[in-house]
Amino acid sequence: MFKIYKSILFLFLSLTLLSSCKKETTTPDLASTDNFNYNAEQFADVQVLRYQIPDFDKLSVKQKELVYYLTQAGLAGRDIMYDQNYRHNLKIRRTFEHIYTNYQGDKTTEDWKSFVLFLKRIWFSNGIHHHYSNDKFMPEFSKGYLESLLNDTNTSLSAEILEVLFSDKDAKKVNLDPTKDLVLGSAVNFYGSDITEKDVDNYYSKIIDRNDPRPIEYGLNSKLVKENGVLKEKVWKVGGMYSAAIEQIVFWLEKAKSVAENNAQGAALGLLIEYYKTGDLKTWDAYNIAWAKATEGDIDYISGFVEVYNDPKGFRGSYETVVQIKDFDMSAKMAVLAENAQWFEDNSTLIESHKKKNVVGVSYKTVNVAGEAGDSSPTTPIGVNLPNNNWIRQEHGSKSVSLGNIIHAYNNAGGGEKIKEFAFSKEEIELEETYGQLADKLHTSLHEVIGHASGQINKGIGMPKETLKNYASTLEEARADLVGLYYLSDKKLEEFKLTDNAEKLGKAAYNDYIRNGLMTQLIRIKLSDDIEESHMRNRQLVAAWAFEKGAAEKVIEKISKNGKTYFVINDYVKLRKLFGDLLREIQRIKSEGDYESGKYLVEKYGVKVDHQIHKEVLERSKHFKSAPYNGFINPVLTTVTDKNGKITDVKVEYPTNFTEQMLFYAKTYTTLPDEN
């Protein structure tokens, strides 16, 4: 199925960036933000950044009020994401927060520092499993030390949870190894502890009609459990599971609806509220249609159980929200892609029967984020394409957005040392410095606007989550990436006035993609581990496949210089053709539901890592100052009211302390019990 496709940034691996130091509490235009400090702090393998909301003061009071209500609605559901990620996360987080705020003992010891680090990692990943690798964090302090902290702060934690923290139990949040039971092997809290992969397959095989031209997104908003031996879905809605949080979400959404910019936006919000109240997936479809068509106005948002990457079976959506303000200048420049979506489809390398004859309503904007929550915070996408349901996209269109101020923050947060280490030549570095940022922006845009909107599934085949199963996400991301790669060097981009030199733009993009896919992204995983995350698998799949298929003609050449390995592109034209060939094959796999071919591609090219290359990458990366993962502190919106309580303005503040924001959220937006 179509999902919200997060282009989790590989920007930081290649860009030449700036750094700054002065704290700002206003909202200057991003063109003049050299003095804003985008860096907050760094710990473990993550860097916490800050972002600004440009032009916020240009909004009307009513628009500011709308933004405020939408951000509050998002934060009201924050606890849901923790519980979805793992059944004990809320209890663990709250226990650790209680210890942190109440412990009066020695805070200079290494054990205490390790305890604080563990808590920060929980906050960053919305739980005890790494947000990217899905591996459980292991404490660098002892069980005895934690027990002493519990005793000193009069805090309790069950024996079961203590065992989880200090053992290999529930070690993987999302297991994608097909040799193991995908459901039993995953700690994510979407299924009862006794539910097997076979149970899930049997349950949905009985209720899904593959010939239904307009299917709902089965299982999107529920937990599948077994009661008295019978499988049952516990729906996330008012009066159902997560009711306490969802009631607060509805409260703020109703306020947002009262200040909607126009009737279409208000109608969509009304349907979203009804969906949260009822849990009816047909209402979810109706909402998505209304939301996709509500393209007027300066404010937009994402809200719901959307992303299915955390479900090993690809059914259940993680809670997330993003509140967006239109970037007027960039949206006008980039709308050209959406306007010419049919040209890209018609001129792609796809088999004719797999091309869409009428690409409907691809709406593309560059936006600035005003607030995020759930699966989008602290880590965030840079590009989003919704709705997910394939038939809605085909019949009613979709929205694609690029998160402009998030990309801007990445670009100005430091980390340019990596390109100098892994680029083979001065020419590669110069291409990156001149065209790298634009290439990344355009690749994201092509990926979201054209890539995810491209292609069609053969009649009667069913959705990819049903046919391609645990490989669907990786293959879909590879397909969208390949669309972008294929067109980045096309002269048509010059005609569209998106670049002054498509050849150089394409070279910069190809250099970066191959370096990243075959080498630099490996800093994100432990030595000897397989690649688990779908986006990483996708990038290695594309790069490794192209390297192998072009080996006879040395399209990409593996070169050793001064004891270091480099992958050098010798023929960019032939590489583009290879990208087109792989795009055609992956679309065929999706269109025909060819599970075995999809499995072959992912397992052969996307999972296993060259041990020696991996070891070398880790060694060459030791001196880098920047971390491989990035997340953000959100701006804080506060209301100004008159003597009657009416909102007269909304102010923006830019916090600098990650810990303070997490503790503030815990105090202000606690909506769920420890166990749900």
Which long-range contacts link 635-639 to residues 24+ away (Cβ below 8 Å)? 635/51, 635/52, 635/53, 635/370, 635/371, 636/661, 637/67, 637/68, 637/71, 637/370, 637/371, 639/65, 639/68
42-326+372-413+637-676 CATH: 3.30.540.30
Distance CA 305, CA 203 (A): 21
Q: What are the start-end ranges of the E strands in 349-408?
A: 362-374, 383-386, 398-403
In the numeric block, the tokens 């967006």 are attached to 324
pLDDT in tens, 59-72: 999 999 999 999 99
Average pLDDT (629-635) is 96
Distance CA 6, CA 8 (A): 5
Q: What is the pLDDT of residue 609?
A: 96
109: alpha, beta or left? (left if phi > 0; alpha if psi -120 to 50)? beta
Report domain extents, the chain.
42-326+372-413+637-676, 352-357+425-634
347, 481, 491, 550, 555 from 574: Cα distances, Å? 17, 17, 16, 8, 7
26: which 2 tokens?
């206003």
57: alpha, beta or left? (left if phi > 0; alpha if psi -120 to 50)? alpha
186, 192, 196, 230, 239 from 227: Cα distances, Å? 20, 10, 14, 5, 19
Residue 548 is classified by DSSP as: H
Highest mean pLDDT among 59-73, 320-334, 438-452: 59-73
Distance CA 310, CA 326 (A): 29
pLDDT in tens, 558-607: 999 999 999 999 999 999 999 999 999 999 999 999 999 999 999 999 99
Q: Taking 50 as the threshold, does the pLDDT of residue 15 lie above it? A: no
Range scoring the smallest mean pLDDT among 192-196, 319-323, 329-333, 670-674: 329-333
The pTM score is 0.78
Q: Taking 80 as the threshold, does the pLDDT of residue 21 lie above it? A: no
pLDDT in tens, 528-548: 899 988 999 999 999 999 999
Q: What is the pLDDT of residue 237?
A: 98
pLDDT category at 415 given cuts 50, 70, 90 is: low
Average pLDDT (485-500) is 96
- The sign one gets for the Cα dihedral 524, 529, 535, 541 is positive
Phi/psi for 520 (5° steps) reads -65, -30
> Cα 200 to chain center, whole Å?
25
Mean pLDDT (the chain) is: 91
Q: What is the pLDDT of residue 30?
A: 35
3 state DSSP class of 455: coil
In the numeric block, the tokens 């920007």 are attached to 11
Average pLDDT (129-144) is 96
